[in-house]
Amino acid sequence: MYSYELGIVFDPTLTEEEKTASYDKVKELIVRFGGEVTKEDDWGKRRLAYEIDKKREGFYYFVQFNAAGDVPPEIESRIRIMDEVMRYLTVRLDEED
pTM equals 0.87
CATH superfamily of 2-92: Ribosomal protein S6/Translation elongation factor EF1B (3.30.70.60)
DSSP string, the chain: -EEEEEEEEE-TT--HHHHHHHHHHHHHHHHHTT-EEEEEEEEEEEEEEEEETTEEEEEEEEEEEEE-TTHHHHHHHHHTT-TTEEEEEEEEPPPP-
Residue 10's pLDDT is what? 94
pLDDT digits (tens, 9 = 90+) for 83-95: 999 999 999 998 7
pLDDT digits (tens, 9 = 90+) for 23-81: 999 999 999 999 999 999 999 999 999 999 899 999 999 999 999 989 999 999 999 99
pLDDT at 97 over 60: no
